[in-house]
Chain A
Amino acid sequence: MLYGTLYGMTYTIEARGLVKRYGDRAALDGFDLTVPRGTVHGLLGPNGAGKTTAVRVLTTLLRADAGSARVAGFDVARDGGEVRRHIGLVGQHAALDEALSGRANLEMFGRLSHLRPKAAGRRAGELLDRFGLADTGRKAVKHYSGGMRRRLDLAAGLILSPPVLFLDEPTTGLDPRGRAEVWAAVRALVADGTTVLLTTQYLEEADQLAHRISVVHEGRPVAEGTPEELKKTVGGDRVEIVVHDPADLPAVAALLGPGAETDHDTRRVSAPAPDRMATLTAVVHDLAAGGIAADDVAIRRPTLDEVFLHLTRSAAPRSHA
């Protein structure tokens, strides 16, 4: 059987207590991860959190100092060759031969993935078509735009149609259009059943693409869950009212009850809205009854930004062993 199991569930990626030290700094400090087959898992964290290091260990490029990991059922330390046969890696920077054409790059990587010459040529053609690079396939990569490079890089990671794909910050440095292109490509892959581990600094990206997210802080995940679950950790939905006249702020706060928070600068009062629409209706009614003019009334879900700040602020300071 190809895939490892844990607690009876099928996981394609399992990492246990990974540690990687550089000098007295730990880039990974007890890193755990489980990713079920066919899902997209996001590693979300700021620069220096350890995302790339985790990806490098899982793709056999880097040996961990401690801990263990299995990818597609193979141990990354003992069975690196098998792991490499089952993964695709798209690193943080486009790893392409600038002097070669897009097609020549894909053919070379295809040959090195041990496809026969004909098969490598065919696969290069398919991938160029699929990523909208068919017209520019014969041009040298150094003439490509950032978005084209990223797509070609993604294509290079998919030559063997790998069951597990690692994407390290696939859209960093791209304009919104390039980002949308990459997102569409990732969604199409997931539809094909590929398991994807994606790292990103963008909360929106994790929210858009990932089934589950690990928030990584100083070398280890500090929270894990679906985007919705993570948003719940900073509290549920809130109702927000922006009053027209700041003098009305205390009255609105009183009206909303004990959980209300007032922000004078933005003339805003917010409070938990456990019953969502019912709460909203009641609030609108009360405002009208009290003769209070509001510029805006809305139900707002916490953003991942808030989750992120909440988690990284409250994460316990680490001791350096």
Chain B
Amino acid sequence: MNRLTWALADGWTVTRREVTHWTANPGQLVAGLLFPVMVLLLFAYLLGGGIEVPGGDYREFLLPGMFAMTMIFGLEGTFTAISTDVTKGVTDRFRSLPMASSAVVSGRAAADMLTTVLALAVLLASGLAVGWRAHNGLGGALAAVGLLLWLRFALLWMGIWLGLKIRNPEAVMALQILVWPIAFLSNAITSPATMPGWLGVIADWNPLSSTAAATRELFGNPGWANDTWAAAHALELSLAWPLVITAIFAPLSVRAYRNLSR
């Protein structure tokens, strides 16, 4: 086998490790998949009644927000997996083996994308169960799913970089908490227009908002009024933001990985 096939084979071995985790510990997988469903039910049934959406049902509006939010929550999974391997010395063992060094990252990336697809499938099914519908046909729905995965792919690099950089448990905890305001400071749950001025601006420009708004468009679900530039250009931004994030964090991750030998 040549270098490329070994790189693919090694990447697949690292990915399969994650799949083995699922079968070895199905409870953890189920809990991970049900968490977004729980948040969904919380908002759909407990809080959703109090939120008015122009020209539509709150659940129709909520689901794309939940999809996008799930992409953000995935960040923690990537981060935790990478930093655990580094602190446990598993990364060093990988690095002492004659395997392709790219496989550590590519295998992780594939595993996390697989987890994301699974989580998204569960959430889509739950959405359908609570009355959410995609109105623009299969093409629109697939494009929306593509946009969501594109955001997750970008956040993958952020997670890898953070996992390589942040080691101490307090910082890990801080990051786990920080994901929440980032997720909620967006248009996922409610309109940025209802937030105090500067918070609204941040929420408006949050990459999560762009993806959520673009996804709403593609699914044919109701959204907030497009009265800001960011809101009016959601589709463009939902393509551009992940590109920017990847352009920043992919090279940083590669460098952080190389710097393990410094």
Question: Which one of B6, B14, B24, B93 contacts A89 once the chains associate, using CB atoms below 8 Å?
Answer: B93
B96 to chain A, nearest CB (A): 4
- The answer on a CB contact under 8 Å between B20 and A95 is no
Residue from B16, B21, B97 whose CB has the most chain A CB atoms within 10 Å: B97
CB contact list, B82-127 vs A, under 8 A: 88-90, 92-99, 103
Chain B residue nearest to A93 in the complex (CB): B89
Q: CA A100 – CA B93 in complex, angstroms?
A: 16
- The answer on a CB contact under 8 Å between B99 and A113 is yes
Q: CA A101 – CA B20 in complex, angstroms?
A: 10
- The answer on a CB contact under 8 Å between B10 and A59 is no
Q: CA A105 – CA B152 in complex, angstroms?
A: 28
- The answer on a CB contact under 8 Å between B98 and A95 is no
A-B contact count (CB 8 A): 74
Question: Which one of B10, B25, B88 contacts A112 once the chains associate, using CB atoms below 8 Å?
Answer: B10
CB contact list, A84-108 vs B, under 8 A: 84-85, 87, 89, 91-101, 104, 108
- The answer on a CB contact under 8 Å between B95 and A61 is yes
* A131 at the B interface (CB under 8 A): no
* A156 at the B interface (CB under 8 A): yes
Residues 19-35 of chain B, each 1 if its beta carbon lies under 8 Å from chain A, else 0: 01100110000000000
* A81 at the B interface (CB under 8 A): yes
Q: CA A101 – CA B24 in complex, angstroms?
A: 8
- The verdict on A84 contacting B98 (CB below 8 Å), with A94-B89, A156-B93 known, is yes
- The answer on a CB contact under 8 Å between B21 and A95 is no
- The answer on a CB contact under 8 Å between A91 and B92 is yes
* B17 at the A interface (CB under 8 A): yes
Interface size class of B (residues with CB under 8 A): 20 to 34
Residue from A84, A99, A101 whose CB has the most chain B CB atoms within 10 Å: A99
* A292 at the B interface (CB under 8 A): no
- The verdict on A112 contacting B94 (CB below 8 Å), with A94-B89, A100-B17 known, is yes
Question: Which one of A62, A93, A101 contacts B262 once the chains associate, using CB atoms below 8 Å?
Answer: A62
- The answer on a CB contact under 8 Å between B25 and A61 is no
- The answer on a CB contact under 8 Å between A114 and B98 is yes
B98 surroundings in chain A (CB, below 8 A): 81, 84-85, 113-114, 160
A99 to chain B, nearest CB (A): 5
B218 to chain A, nearest CB (A): 37
- The answer on a CB contact under 8 Å between B20 and A100 is yes
- The answer on a CB contact under 8 Å between A114 and B99 is yes
Query: What's the tally of chain A residues with a CB closer than 8 Å to chain B?
Result: 32
Residues 142-170 of chain A, each 1 if its beta carbon lies under 8 Å from chain B, else 0: 00000000000000100010000000000
Q: CA A112 – CA B17 in complex, angstroms?
A: 11
- The answer on a CB contact under 8 Å between B25 and A99 is yes
A81 surroundings in chain B (CB, below 8 A): 98
- The answer on a CB contact under 8 Å between B96 and A89 is yes
- The answer on a CB contact under 8 Å between B89 and A59 is no
By secondary structure, the A interface counts as loop
Q: CA A89 – CA B91 in complex, angstroms?
A: 12
* B13 at the A interface (CB under 8 A): yes
* B168 at the A interface (CB under 8 A): no
- The answer on a CB contact under 8 Å between A93 and B13 is no
A84 surroundings in chain B (CB, below 8 A): 96-98
B95 surroundings in chain A (CB, below 8 A): 60-61
Q: CA A160 – CA B98 in complex, angstroms?
A: 10
- The answer on a CB contact under 8 Å between A140 and B96 is no
B167 to chain A, nearest CB (A): 14
A94 surroundings in chain B (CB, below 8 A): 89
Question: Which one of B13, B89, B90, B92 contacts A111 once the chains associate, using CB atoms below 8 Å?
Answer: B13
Q: CA A176 – CA B222 in complex, angstroms?
A: 68
* A267 at the B interface (CB under 8 A): no
B261 surroundings in chain A (CB, below 8 A): 60-63
Question: Which one of B6, B21, B24, B96 contacts A114 once the chains associate, using CB atoms below 8 Å?
Answer: B6
Chain A residue nearest to B6 in the complex (CB): A114
- The verdict on A109 contacting B88 (CB below 8 Å), with A62-B261, A140-B24 known, is no
- The answer on a CB contact under 8 Å between A95 and B97 is no
Chain B residue nearest to A63 in the complex (CB): B261
Chain B residue nearest to A140 in the complex (CB): B24
Residues 29-45 of chain A, each 1 if its beta carbon lies under 8 Å from chain B, else 0: 00000000000000000
Residue from B16, B92, B96, B260 whose CB has the most chain A CB atoms within 10 Å: B96
- The answer on a CB contact under 8 Å between A97 and B17 is yes
Q: CA A100 – CA B92 in complex, angstroms?
A: 18
Q: CA A104 – CA B18 in complex, angstroms?
A: 12
- The verdict on A112 contacting B20 (CB below 8 Å), with A84-B96, A85-B98 known, is no
17 contacts between A and B (CB under 8 A): A61-B96, A62-B262, A63-B262, A84-B96, A89-B93, A91-B93, A92-B89, A95-B92, A97-B17, A99-B25, A101-B24, A104-B20, A108-B16, A112-B97, A112-B99, A113-B97, A114-B99
* The 9 nearest A-B residue pairs measured at CB: A95-B89, A95-B93, A112-B99, A89-B96, A111-B13, A85-B98, A84-B98, A91-B89, A112-B97
- A residues at B contact (CB < 8 Å): 56, 59-63, 81, 84-85, 87, 89, 91-101, 104, 108-109, 111-114, 140, 156, 160
Extra contacts, 4 of them, besides A95-B93, A140-B24, A160-B98 (Cβ < 8 A), are A61-B260, A100-B17, A112-B94, A112-B103
